[in-house]
Amino acid sequence: MHIVIIGNGISGTTAARWVRKLSDHKITIISSESKYFYSRTALMYVYMGHMRYEDIKPYEDWFWDKNRIDLVKDHVSHIDFDKQELTLTQGKMQYDKLVLALGSKSNKFGWPGQDLKGVGGLYHLQDLQQMEEYSDGLQRAVITGGGLIGIEMAEMFHSRHIPVTLLVREQSYWNNVLPPEESKMISDHIIKNNIDLRLGVNLDQIKDDGNGRCKSVVVKETQEEIACGYVGLTAGVSPNVSWLKDTNLEIGRGIKVNNHLLTNQNNVYAIGDCAELSEPRPGRRGIEAIWYTGRMMGETVAYNICDQPVSYDPGIWFNSAKFIDIEYQVYGDVPATIPETMATLYWQHSDNEKAIRINYDKASQSVLGFNLMGVRYRHEVCEKWIADKTHIEEVLQHLGMANFDPEFYKEYESDIVNLYNTQSGKNLKLKSKRGLKRVLAFLSK
């Protein structure tokens, strides 16, 4: 049986690896972006000089031949689902089962000048190459859109001492995701790092220098013109599926799939950023364009392809990122607006660069989620507390077990317990401090 996977990101690559673990089927991965899988989240570190391109490839080039996974660098222009046939630039290819791991594309909203030279997103290897091409002698970059991609691009330019203006339509950075306190902390941190953060504004147009390259942007609200030699479009991403909308494939925002990641076409699956679950789990979205869900989908689809049916289960929500110098982790339910049924315990360090938030249910007192800024907690410990619906007071007494910071970093768990005591009138004591033996014993229960 021939398994063809279109897309060599984390989803497609994981699918190929697991199909090989589970079977001897013929496997082909097709990508028009690059021949080899690379870590998309590490693109920024190549630009910043911390890594080389070869360093962000998780597998050596010989890995693919050794594991009998064929790599084809080509563009798929058409899929005939009835004939189970792909049309590529270099010819046709038949498949027995097809996995669509098409990823995302940077959003464009019809801005005048959005297709000029020196305008691009930060998603593909080609985006990095374009940034590199236009960085020599660059006097200023303007980025429109917040979120994780926007701050990554800002940090990239900032690392080369290129002035950056960041246009964000929200009144506080990423406040559609972060609670108000954390959002303000990140906004302040961006400004502290000498990035020109403009809140509550939108891009109106990008102006042409007369030779097909951007020369400036115009801010919609003020009509201010800002001179720049590069414009970053980071107003989110969307599934890369527009080229399939005239086919019989069922498409909403993404490619519709059931809980086994199967589409409405025979022997065709979709995974990763391009897949939209028809019936997502409670509290989860149909499309979740993040690294770990892509990896989990890749493994799940491999089992289903290899006749070992399993439903996709993303588990408890988590994510991690970095806002310049502030590391960010979230586990469980931490909405931007705290509902009436939820209590929250929020501690913030006086340096305005560290914060810990613990959400819990008002009625049952069971812990629901953790939000961490500049402090690292163990994923497995937080997840177990949430899954076990552990009482907030038990969590607080053993909070030290979650601390993942190195041995000589300062601990702040006693501050969190004291804050809870002040708010509740209780007299809890911190019982467990960090230590691998304690953590392993706890996780084995």
Residue 436 has pLDDT above 90, yes or no: no
* CA-to-CA dists, residue 4 to 26, 76, 78, angstroms: 8, 12, 14
Annotate 368-403 with DSSP letters as a single string: EEEEEES--B-HHHHHHHHHTT-BHHHHHHTGGGGB
pLDDT given at position 409: 77
pTM to 2 decimals? 0.92
Q: What share of the chain in percent tops pLDDT 90? A: 91
CA torsion angle 406 389 282 312 (round to 10): 60
pLDDT given at position 5: 98
Q: Which two tokens stand for residue 239?
A: 């599934």
245 burial class (0-12, 13-18, 19+ CB within 10 angstroms)?
exposed
15-74 residue pLDDT tens: 999 999 999 999 999 999 999 999 999 999 999 999 999 999 999 999 999 999 999 999
Q: Give me the amino acid identity at 241.
A: V
Q: Label residue 111 by pLDDT band (50, 70, 90).
A: very high
* DSSP symbol at 423: H
pLDDT given at position 435: 65
Residue 186 has pLDDT above 70, yes or no: yes
Distance CA 232, CA 342 (A): 38
* 20: enclosing H helix or E strand: helix 10-22
Residue listed under structure tokens 């991609």:
149
204-261 residue pLDDT tens: 999 999 999 999 999 999 999 999 999 999 998 999 999 999 999 999 999 999 999 9
pLDDT given at position 147: 87
- Residue ranges of alpha helices (H) inside 28-144 are 43-47, 62-66, 125-135
Annotate 174-235 with DSSP letters as a single string: TTTTS-HHHHHHHHHHHHHTT-EEEES--EEEEEE-SSSBEEEEEETTT--EEE-SEEEE-S
pLDDT given at position 440: 66
Q: Which two tokens stand for residue 241?
A: 């599926």
Residue 146 has pLDDT above 90, yes or no: no
Q: Are 159 and 165 in contact (CB under 8 A)?
A: no
Distance CA 299, CA 296 (A): 5
Q: Which two tokens stand for residue 437?
A: 């033996």
Which one, of 107, 108, 110, 114, lies nearest residue 231 by Cα? 114
Annotate 64-75 with DSSP letters as a single string: HHHTTEEEEE--
Residue 156 has pLDDT above 80, yes or no: yes
**Cα separation of the two ends of the chain:** 43
CB count in 10 Å sphere of residue 175: 20
pLDDT given at position 443: 73
- Check residue 410 and give left, alpha or beta (phi > 0: left; psi -120 to 50: alpha): beta
Between 330 and 411, name the one with better pLDDT: 330
395-405 residue pLDDT tens: 999 999 898 88
42 burial class (0-12, 13-18, 19+ CB within 10 angstroms)?
middle
* DSSP symbol at 337: S
pLDDT given at position 283: 84
pLDDT given at position 432: 67
Q: Are 240 and 105 in contact (CB under 8 A)?
A: yes
**Mean pLDDT along residues 308-335:** 96
pLDDT given at position 431: 83
pLDDT given at position 297: 98
Residue 444 has pLDDT above 80, yes or no: no
Q: Are 273 and 103 in contact (CB under 8 A)?
A: yes
CA torsion angle 32 41 290 349 (round to 10): -170
419-434 residue pLDDT tens: 999 999 999 998 866 6
* DSSP symbol at 426: -
pLDDT given at position 434: 63
Residue 308 has pLDDT above 90, yes or no: yes
3-state secondary structure of 354: coil
Average pLDDT, the chain: 95
Stated length of the chain: 445
356-378 residue pLDDT tens: 999 999 999 999 999 999 999 99
Query: Domains plus CATH for the chain?
Result: 2-104+238-305 (3.50.50.60), 119-234 (3.50.50.60), 318-443 (3.30.390.30)
Q: Are 130 and 120 in contact (CB under 8 A)?
A: yes
